[in-house]
Amino acid sequence: MPIALTKGLDEKCCDCGIAIHKKEIDGELEGRYADYGEHEQGGMRPKFCSGCWGRIKEILKKDQGDAILKRKELEREGAKHAIAQLDTFTDKDLTGIDFRTPDDAGVGM
């Protein structure tokens, strides 16, 4: 019976999207976000399954040099990962958003 299989699957991983039981939550974040595409801000508390949380922790441990190397590797393979440039100085919809990275804010990661 499908009902028995879904009982207690009240949470979902915010990375892979799989339904999970509360006891299967392996990590969660809490904080504010800025959605630059939709031009809105808010608060969120995404939860993650063990596989996604482990991958996120590994990415956070790596430095920016690793991230640049990964991007170069993907670009060499022909992937299109270029990020559109935003004009944050003249676009009035973007002037109220704080674009500082965690390092700029002195928080670090």
Query: Which stretches of the chain bind Zn ion, using CB under 5 A?
Result: 13, 15-16, 49, 52
Instruction: Give the integer Cα–Cα distance in Å for 42 and 32.
Output: 6
Q: Which is nearer to Zn ion, 15 or 71 (CB)?
A: 15
Closest distance to Zn ion from the beta carbon of 57 (Å) = 13
Short-list 91, 71, 94, CA closest to 83: 71
Closest distance to Zn ion from the beta carbon of 14 (Å) = 8
Instruction: Give the integer Cα–Cα distance in Å for 93 and 6.
Output: 43
Q: Which is nearer to Zn ion, 11 or 49 (CB)?
A: 49
Q: Which is nearer to Zn ion, 25 or 34 (CB)?
A: 25
Q: Which is nearer to Zn ion, 17 or 108 (CB)?
A: 17
- Whole-Å CA distances, 90 to 80, 83, 100, 107, 109: 27, 19, 17, 27, 30
Closest distance to Zn ion from the beta carbon of 36 (Å) = 24
